Amino acid sequence: MRVALFITCFNDTLFPETGRATVEVLERLGHEVVFPEEQTCCGQMHFNTGYQREAIPLVRRFVEVFGPYDAVVAPSGSCVGMVRELYPLAANLANDNELLYEVEELGEKVFELSEFLVKKTGVTDVGAYYPHRVTYHPTCHSLRMLKVGEAPLKLLRRVRGIDLVELPEAKECCGFGGTFAVKNADTSVAMLGDKLRHVLDTEAEICTAGDNSCLMHIGGGLKRQRAGVRTVHLAEILASTEER
Amino acid sequence: MTIIRHQPEKKAPPDAFSEGRTPTFEESAKESLSNSQLRRNLGKATQTIRRKRGVAVAEMPDWEELREAGRALKARTLRHLDDYLVELEESVKRAGGQVHWARDAEEANRIVAGIAKSHGAREVVKVKSIATDETKLNEYLEGEGIAAYETDLAELIIQLAGETSSHILVPAIHKNRSEIRELFMRELGVEDLSDDPPDLANAARLYLRKKFLSAKVGISGANFAVAETGTVCVVESEGNGRMCTTLPPVLVTLMGIEKVIPQWRDYEVFMQLLPRSSTAERMNPYTSFWTGASQGSGDGPEEFHLVLMDNGRTDVLADEIGRQSLNCIRCSACLNVCPVYERTGGHAYNSVYPGPIGAILTPQLVGIGEPGPDSLPYASSLCGACYEVCPVKINIPQVLIHLRGKVVRHKQDEGGLRERLDPENVAMQAMGRIFANRRLYEGAQKAAHVGQWPLARSGTIHRLPGKLAGWTEARDLKPVPEQTFRDWWKTRRGGPSPNGSTGDGAS
Ligand code: SF4
């Protein structure tokens, strides 16, 4: 299938290795990956922080850039959630019915990576090899907004060599929440504290998730504590093979 | 056990519904987050009730259909609210009750106090009611020389401690039993008291019984009121509500206009949704229904008054996205699952409506434009746990985001130079322009990599400047790498092309 990669500005700038891994996995499975270079940001930060008029041009831009493709895949649950769930609100705010129609149509073609692999193409074994003890944190937007369900776990269970351990209280928010992490830093850190405790309880060496924003928050806390546990995006685990 | 006094005399601290400014959520949360006793009490209580609710809900094979029915019923009622309210008024009058309309809290309080005074009452007994907390009825009555006695155990605790409720259903959730024992010994003058829950309840019972028998006027809120029949309903679990609504000869009910439901049979849906969501019970222990006044039958109050209060609700109704907030049946499930509430407690919200529902209802009821209530829509990581459990399917995260938009637009449009020069606004405007243009965006990526060098130490950023310092208080930050993804993509496909490297014409 021809797939347009929606890298997200966050991964593009801060986590290029996740983007590279996403390309690798998709190509290994025989998809043709294209990268529309005009893409920038979906507008989630603006919209969720309340700068919604400012997000409207970014919504229009996204529709222009990705509208022509049949499938758009992103290694981020929350950015896909923005497109699917909140673009209609933005279109309503802009009082633009044509835009509303376009975003609703587009929303059906935009997928989070695990959702695309498992739900859209029916694949669970991507041929990965990853000999590490790993625990998975289901990020809130993947879990409750996109309802990706078991998809990421189905993929992880088929990774060879992996020692997958369940995260206690996995469904609890890690406390990131975008600008919440800065605006309400104290509460955010209090939530993070419990998440870290659960991660450490698993004795995993790697904590993974489908969203680098939450992982940056969890990983930043682990690193500050010199916990000896790393965070790695799901795509990177799926991209690893015995050769590399 | 002897009880020697007493009079409720302590004043509760002001909140969003009182005069004057309240602190922001961030400010108040800082305080509660550092209270280890509170964190422990709350964490334990919310985790227990959360687990129990999960079990109670899982028993119902048609739970999702019930939620949808609850949502649809509320939505339909709100669409025709004016008609149903008029129908309710007629039904109550037909059953011998009197109906009063109150535009705001002041008017509601005046009406209630007027009724009490017309009967020469110096004391009134109350069933737990958030509507009367919203209007600050107790304080108002006190000013009129009337003492209001809370009869719900938790409300009594709060009243004696001179505090405000921190939970919709369990107002004293932030207190443990040894704290309550001390309070009763101090405030009720009880001497020999253990911290056993039955003993504590007994102490309260002894104290309250006299009040029930002597009070001429009872005051209640309402969980529901049926338009078709005029039947008002209070749902509680201690039986004190039943005493308040049956013993005093005069009963006054203050209810928000959104509490009306069309028909008797609609209870079928709500009586299944409410107990399981709130207390994880299959059936509610005390559900009192009454229709009008006794009219000489000896059954129920001789005189019944229903006060229908707006107090900002029609403004909420006018907002297409916000109006779903009026679906709320005050079950408090959203509080119990909220990871923010679990850690900060209810007082950080500075409102009679705490937690997720409070974060959307308070700013809508009091209006946008005050720093305290305006901070509430931001008191959420948007994790969506509240929406998942809400029995009437209020999309709380969606309303939170919608209200954040209103807060920002209000600042931008009504604010002065200061609001426009606010660093957040300036940064957001600049980033909006950068994201709207590919060249600017790519330039900014480079600048971020170059600009961070004073901050990065051996591959990690330990401290950020200004408002961003909150991040690095407990979290390290990974620096911006040299090669962005798009840079890599270009090298991989052998040099840049004007439009997407595979010659894609999509841009
Ligand atoms: S918003 Fe929903 S979950 Fe929260 S108290 Fe109201 S009805 Fe219950």
Residue B141 in this model has a pLDDT that exceeds 80: yes
The residue among B286, B314, B342 that closes a domain is: B314
* Ligand 1 neighbour B357 (Cβ under 6 A): yes
Residue B289 shares a structural domain with residue B429: no
* Ligand 1 neighbour B392 (Cβ under 6 A): yes
Q: What is the C-alpha to C-alpha distance for residues A211 and A79, in angstroms, rounded to an integer?
A: 9
Which residue type is seen at B158? I
pLDDT > 70 fraction of chain A, expressed in percent and rounded: 100
Does residue B503 lie in a domain region? no
Cβ–Cβ contact A188 with B under 8 A: yes
Residue B102 in this model has a pLDDT that exceeds 60: yes
> What is the predicted pLDDT for the residue at B177?
87
Q: What is the C-alpha to C-alpha distance for residues B172 and B169, in angstroms, rounded to an integer?
A: 9
The pLDDT-based confidence of B496 (bands split at 50, 70, 90) is very low
Which residue type is seen at A115? E
pLDDT average, residue stretch B256-285: 96
Partners of residue A181 in chain B, C-beta under 8 Å? 381, 470-471
DSSP element (H, E) containing B231: strand B231-236
The pLDDT-based confidence of B175 (bands split at 50, 70, 90) is confident
Cβ–Cβ contact A137 with B under 8 A: no
User: Could you say which DSSP state residue A166 is in?
Assistant: P
> What is the predicted pLDDT for the residue at B495?
47
Give the list of residues 6+ apart from residue B188 with CB closer than 8 angstroms, or none. Answer: B3, B4, B5, B6, B160, B203, B207
Considering its fold, how many domains does chain B have in total?
2
Does residue B147 lie in a domain region? yes
Interchain proximity A16–B507, CB inside 8 Å: no
**For chain A, what is the mean pLDDT?**
96
Partners of residue B445 in chain A, C-beta under 8 Å? 12-13
Does residue B409 lie in a domain region? no
> What is the predicted pLDDT for the residue at B501?
42
Q: What is the C-alpha to C-alpha distance for residues B391 and B279, in angstroms, rounded to an integer?
A: 13
Domains of chain A: 2-120 (1.20.1050), 133-239 (3.40.50)
Q: How far is B17 from chain A (nearest CA, A)?
A: 23
Nearest CA in chain B to A13: B484
Q: Of chain A residues 77-106, which have a CB less than 8 A from chain B?
A: 85-86, 89, 93
Residue B304 shares a structural domain with residue B431: no
Of the candidates A106, A73, A105, the one whose C-alpha atom is nearest the C-alpha of residue A4 is A73
Residue B11 in this model has a pLDDT that exceeds 90: no
Does residue B471 lie in a domain region? yes
Residue B371 in this model has a pLDDT that exceeds 80: yes
Residue B277 CA to ligand 1 center (angstroms) comes to 9
Higher pLDDT, B8 or A98: A98
**Using one digit for the tens of pLDDT, what is the confidence trace for A184-228?**
999 999 999 999 999 999 999 999 999 999 999 999 999 998 999
The distance in angstroms from the start CA to the end CA of chain A is 25
- DSSP assignment of B188-226, as one string? S---S--S-HHHHHHHHHHHHHHHHHH-SEEEE--SEEE
Give the list of residues 6+ apart from residue A226 with CB closer than 8 angstroms, or none. Answer: none
Q: Is residue A90 a contact partner of residue A52, using CB atoms and an 8 Å limit?
A: yes
Nearest to B381 among A20, A177, A216 (CB): A177
Give the list of residues 6+ apart from residue B322 with CB closer than 8 angstroms, or none. Answer: B316, B360, B364, B399, B402, B403
The pLDDT-based confidence of B505 (bands split at 50, 70, 90) is very low
**Using one digit for the tens of pLDDT, what is the confidence trace for B308-339?**
999 999 999 999 999 999 999 999 999 999 99
Output the residue whose Cα is nearest ligand 1's atom 3: B390
Residue B268 in this model has a pLDDT that exceeds 60: yes
Q: Which atom of ligand 1 is found nearest the CA of B335?
A: 4
How many CB atoms within 10 Å of residue A123? Answer: 16
Does residue B359 lie in a domain region? no
Q: Of chain A residues 153-172, which have a CB less than 8 A from chain B?
A: 171-172
B210's tokens: 């006299």
User: Could you say which DSSP state residue B242 is in?
Assistant: H
**For chain B, what is the mean pLDDT?**
91
B199's tokens: 């003993």
| Ligand 1 mutation target, pool B46, B316, B330, B352, most atoms within 8 A of CB | B330
> What is the predicted pLDDT for the residue at B458?
67
B171's tokens: 């107002």
Residue B431 shares a structural domain with residue B307: no
User: Considering the entire predicted model, what is its pTM?
Assistant: 0.94
Partners of residue A12 in chain B, C-beta under 8 Å? 445, 484-486
- β-sheet with B123-126: strand ranges across: B98-102, B303-309, B250-256, B217-220, B123-126, B147-150
**Using one digit for the tens of pLDDT, what is the confidence trace for B467-494?**
788 888 889 888 889 899 999 999 987 5
Q: Which atom of ligand 1 is found nearest the CA of B327?
A: 7
> What is the predicted pLDDT for the residue at B502?
45
Does residue B6 lie in a domain region? no
The pLDDT-based confidence of A244 (bands split at 50, 70, 90) is low
Strand A2-5 and strand B217-220: the pairing is unpaired
Nearest to A57 among B343, B436, B489 (CB): B436
> What is the predicted pLDDT for the residue at B473?
82
Residue B6 in this model has a pLDDT that exceeds 60: no
> What is the predicted pLDDT for the residue at B499?
43
Cβ–Cβ contact A59 with B under 8 A: no
Residue B339 CA to ligand 1 center (angstroms) comes to 15
Nearest CA in chain A to B447: A13
CATH number at residue B67: 3.40.50.10420
**Using one digit for the tens of pLDDT, what is the confidence trace for B16-60?**
999 888 999 999 999 999 999 889 989 999 999 999 999 999 999
Partners of residue A49 in chain B, C-beta under 8 Å? 404, 408, 424, 428
Residue B217 in this model has a pLDDT that exceeds 80: yes
How far apart, in Å, are the Cα atoms of B170 and each of B16, B153, B163, B345? 20, 9, 13, 12
Residue B172 shares a structural domain with residue B302: yes
Q: Which residue range forms the structural domain that includes residue B462?
A: 423-493
A24's tokens: 């690798």
> What is the predicted pLDDT for the residue at B498?
41
Residue B400 CA to ligand 1 center (angstroms) comes to 14
B252's tokens: 């006054």
Q: Is residue A63 a contact partner of residue A83, using CB atoms and an 8 Å limit?
A: no
**Using one digit for the tens of pLDDT, what is the confidence trace for A58-79?**
999 999 999 999 999 999 999 9
Nearest CA in chain A to B461: A220
Interchain proximity B506–A4, CB inside 8 Å: yes
Question: Which position has the token pair 């013993």?
Answer: B247
Output the residue whose Cα is nearest ligand 1's atom 4: B334
The residue among B271, B292, B314 that closes a domain is: B314
**Using one digit for the tens of pLDDT, what is the confidence trace for B54-81?**
999 999 999 999 999 999 999 999 999 9
Nearest CA in chain A to B507: A65
Q: Which atom of ligand 1 is found nearest the CA of B356?
A: 4
Nearest CA in chain B to A22: B485
The pLDDT-based confidence of B379 (bands split at 50, 70, 90) is very high
Q: How far is A65 from chain B (nearest CA, A)?
A: 5
Q: What is the C-alpha to C-alpha distance for residues B250 and B98, in angstroms, rounded to an integer?
A: 11
- Interaxial angle between packed helices B81-94 and B63-79, expressed in degrees from 0 to 180 and rounded to the nearest 10: 90
Tabulate helix, strand, coil % of chain B (nearest 5). 55, 10, 35
Partners of residue A22 in chain B, C-beta under 8 Å? none
Interchain proximity B381–A180, CB inside 8 Å: yes
Most A CBs within 10 A among B375, B404, B435, hence the mutation to make, goes to B435
pLDDT average, residue stretch B1-28: 74
Q: Is residue B224 a contact partner of residue B276, using CB atoms and an 8 Å limit?
A: no
A107's tokens: 């929303």
Residue B444 in this model has a pLDDT that exceeds 60: yes
Q: What is the C-alpha to C-alpha distance for residues A68 and A47, in angstroms, rounded to an integer?
A: 24
Does residue B407 lie in a domain region? no
Q: Is residue B311 a contact partner of residue B365, using CB atoms and an 8 Å limit?
A: yes
Q: Which atom of ligand 1 is found nearest the CA of B360?
A: 1
B299's tokens: 């059954």
> What is the predicted pLDDT for the residue at B497?
44
Q: What is the C-alpha to C-alpha distance for residues B343 and B35, in angstroms, rounded to an integer?
A: 10
> What is the predicted pLDDT for the residue at B459?
74
The pLDDT-based confidence of B291 (bands split at 50, 70, 90) is very high
Partners of residue B420 in chain A, C-beta under 8 Å? none
The residue among B314, B337, B361 that closes a domain is: B314
- How many beta-carbon contacts under 8 Å exist across A and B? 219
**Using one digit for the tens of pLDDT, what is the confidence trace for A80-104?**
999 999 999 999 999 999 999 999 9
How far is CA B279 from its chain centroid?
16
Q: Which atom of ligand 1 is found nearest the CA of B396?
A: 1
User: Could you say which DSSP state residue A142 is in?
Assistant: I
Residue B507 in this model has a pLDDT that exceeds 60: no
Nearest CA in chain B to A14: B480
pLDDT average, residue stretch A4-33: 97
- DSSP assignment of A115-128, as one string? HIIIIIS-------
Give the list of residues 6+ apart from residue B300 with CB closer than 8 angstroms, or none. Answer: B245, B246, B251, B290, B293, B294
Does residue B371 lie in a domain region? no
Of the candidates A238, A225, A206, the one whose C-alpha atom is nearest the C-alpha of residue A137 is A206
> What are residue B287's phi and psi, to 5 degrees?
-120, 110
* Ligand 1 neighbour B330 (Cβ under 6 A): yes
pLDDT > 90 fraction of chain B, expressed in percent and rounded: 68
Q: What is the C-alpha to C-alpha distance for residues A129 and A237, in angstroms, rounded to an integer?
A: 8
